[in-house]
Structure 1
Amino acid sequence: MSLIRRFCFSYWRCLRSSASGGQEALVRLRCPSLSPYVACLHTSAITSAGHNKWSKVKHIKGPKDAARSRLFAKLTMMIKVAVKEGGSNPDFNPYLYQLVEQARQRNMPKTSIEAAIKGADKAKPTSYALYQARGPGGCSLIIEILTDNTNRSFSELRLLLNKNGGTHTDVLHCFNKKGVVTVQTQDRDGKPVQLEQALDLAIQAGAEDVQEMQDEEEEKDIYKYICDLSSLRDVRSQLITFGLVPISSGPEYLPSLTVQLSDTDKERVFKLLELIKDQPDVMRVYDNIE
């Protein structure tokens, strides 16, 4: 049994006898020294609402709608790439199947999903790339890109970094590439899955860890099951067998080294991340900020 699985099992037993229950479990599970695998996926930001209906529409609905449109555009691009690489039948293309399921979970219209699959043949040649960077305060950033022009995308990112306190440098050693299965905190019957139960299922499914986080796009709590890439499909299959509802699954870069930032640096990083995610070629951004 691996160190992490022994840790999970130890805390599982501790949880069962804990008088304070789920809240204590959450504090322990998120202890930075014991659970280093925390990935941040930046998809949207919600500005403060004003004092009237128009302010709420302007400052909340507008940004959320814009973020959703960007998300749909990026899912469309990823679906087209998946079709080109593995065919248009999700039953024989696992990557496409996962993307279609993710699009459905994000309430992407069925017609848009079908149009993306059918339009793959007409799409421009696209390549996958990683851009590594150091942000304000010394934080590390890994930026996943799908682009038809790598030089252009890299140039645009370099310009953004230079103007906002960042620089292009190698930071891959600060991350581990892991398999991640994201699921809802309710099972397929609509019953809540408590953290203690989620941890128990992680052990049974062969996952290394499970973390309760918030989906910034949907503003809902989610569970992230972390495992080796080689066991990703098996873990996902087991979790479905246990009645959990998957949102997405795939490889992610999770920090092995984290940094603490001052409030000033956090504001600068937040601004930089907003600019980066606005780039049409950027798919996901990972950081190592505590």
Structure 2
Amino acid sequence: MAGHSKFKNIMHRKGAQDKKRSSLFSKLSREITVAAKMGLPDPAMNARLRAAVVTARQGGMPKDNIERAIKKAEGADGENYEEVRYEGFGPGGVSLIIETLTDNRNRTATNVRTAVAKNGGNLGASGSVSHGFERLGLISYPVKAGDPEKIFEAALDAGADDVQSSEDGHEIWTAVDGMHDVAKALEKALGEPEGIKLAWKPGVMVTVGEGDAATLMKLIDALDDDDDVQTVWGNYDVPEDVLAKL
């Protein structure tokens, strides 16, 4: 299990699928509202909103919830969220990038710092770890979308930069400015994706041993439990035999 290898990369632990759906929907709703505020409230005319809606649909979010989140952006008295990124280190020396949407920077900073410190990590200054990652577009498809050869050919025709297929699904990486054009082309060939998102792809992976893996998973779960935290990206790779013991 690699830290960057899943679109829902903080939902990887055994039993994580049973986490409160309300918490997941809260994060998805927040992203939709922010995306709608940053552009037109029409997914067809707003690339970020389109990506957020696709992700919400694939996450099982009801249509009414999605529409409500979009309308929320039109209200003058609605919440104002800002994007804040934290960088730091986890157990085993892994690098972490924590993306948040918050209406209270002090609360979020305190919560993130506490979660990291209590679970064997520490936060660093802005840029302390992001230099080891590449900012790219990530389009995800489930295994059932096709075999690796079919996905590779579709990605190549669509103009993607890289494809990684595994038993968990297919990851298609693109340049940031070409992500939505590639996504549209892929949708014609493969159907609607499981997710579309700007992502942080690590240049070098760090293999986490049994001694640090349990603490690292606790750290990521603690961050995931915070409604302000949208996504956690990392350069960790936990071998399957180690993961099975957790």
TM, length-normalised to structure 1? 0.73
**1:70 counterpart = 2:38:** no
Larger radius of gyration: 1
Give the letter for the 2:143 counterpart.
T
TM-aligned CA distance change 1:208 to 1:108, over 3 Å: same
Once the two structures are overlaid, the 10-residue window that deviates more, 143-152 or 201-210, is: 201-210
- The separation in 2 between residues aligned to 1:77 and 1:230, in whole angstroms, is 23
3-state DSSP of counterpart to 1:246 = coil
Is the 8 Å Cα contact of residues 11 and 17 (structure 2) preserved in structure 1? Answer: no
Matching of residue 174 in structure 1 with residue 132 in structure 2 = yes
Structure 2 residue identity aligned to 1:180: L
- In structure 2, relative to structure 1, the CA distance for the partners of 1:266 and 1:37 (3 Å cut) is closer
Q: Which amino acid aligns with 1:275?
A: A
| Amino acid in the other structure paired with 2:36 | V
Q: Which residue of 1 aligns with 2:241?
A: none
Counterpart for residue 61 of structure 2: 108
Q: Is residue 161–residue 168 contact of structure 1 (8 Å, CA) maintained in 2?
A: yes
Aligned to 1:26: none
Q: Which amino acid aligns with 1:84?
A: K
Residue of structure 2 aligned with 1:244, choices 164, 182, 191: 191
Stretches of structure 1 lacking an aligned partner (at least 5 in a row) = 1-29, 31-35, 48-62, 188-192, 215-220
**What is the letter of the counterpart of residue 66 of structure 1?**
K
Q: What is the letter of the counterpart of residue 10 of structure 2? A: H
1:127 paired residue number: 82
> The residue matched to 2:142 in structure 1 has which SS?
strand
Q: Give, in angstroms, the shift of residue 213 of structure 1.
A: 4.4
Match for residue 97 of structure 2? Answer: 142
Residues 77-88 of structure 1 aligned to structure 2 (within 5 Å): 77-88=30-41
Q: Matched residues in 1 for 2:3 and 2:213: separation? A: 20
**Deviation (angstroms), 1:275:** 0.5
Q: Aligned equivalents of 2:161 and 2:135: distance in 1? A: 13
Q: Secondary structure of 1:64's partner?
A: helix
Amino acid at match of 2:122: T
Higher helix share: 1
2:52 matched residue in structure 1? 99
Residue 289 of structure 1 is matched in structure 2 by 236
2:244 maps to which residue? none
Percent of residue pairs bearing the same amino acid type? 33
Measure the CA separation in 2 of the matches of 1:186 and 1:80. 31
Cα 1:102–1:38 change in 2 (3 A) is closer
Within 5 Å, which residues of 2 pair with 1:1-290?
Answer: 38-40=4-6, 41-43=9-11, 45-47=13-15, 64-120=17-73, 121=75, 122-169=77-124, 170-187=128-145, 193-213=146-166, 221-290=168-237
AA matched with 1:211: Q
By how many angstroms is 1:66 displaced?
3.1
After superposition, give the CA deviation of every residue in 1:156-202 in whole Å (9 maximum; x if it has no partner). 11122222211111111121111111123345xxxxx1112212222
Could you tell me the TM-score, scaled by structure 2's length? 0.86
Measure, in 1, the Cα distance between the counterparts of 2:36 and 2:155.
31
In the TM superposition, residue 38 of structure 1 has moved relative to its aligned partner by 4.6
Alpha-carbon separation, structure 2, partners of 1:213 and 1:81: 32
2:56 and 2:206 map into 1 onto residues whose CA distance is: 33
Q: CA 1:213–1:150 in structure 2 vs 1: closer, same or farther (change >3 Å)?
A: farther
Deviation for aligned residue 1:239: 1.0
Alpha-carbon offset, residue 37 of structure 1: 10
State which drifts further: 201-210 or 135-144. Answer: 201-210
Matches of 2:223 and 2:4, distance apart in 1: 20
Tell me which amino acid in the other structure corresponds to 1:181: I
RMSD: 2.2
**How far apart in 1 are the matches of 2:130 and 2:136?**
13
Q: How many pairs were matched up?
A: 230
Letter in 2 for 1:104: R
Q: Which amino acid aligns with 1:287?
A: G
For the residue of structure 1 that corresponds to 2:193, the secondary structure is strand
Q: Is this contact kept in 2: 1:37–1:254, CA < 8 A?
A: no
Q: Is the 8 A contact 1:180 1:249 kept in 2?
A: yes
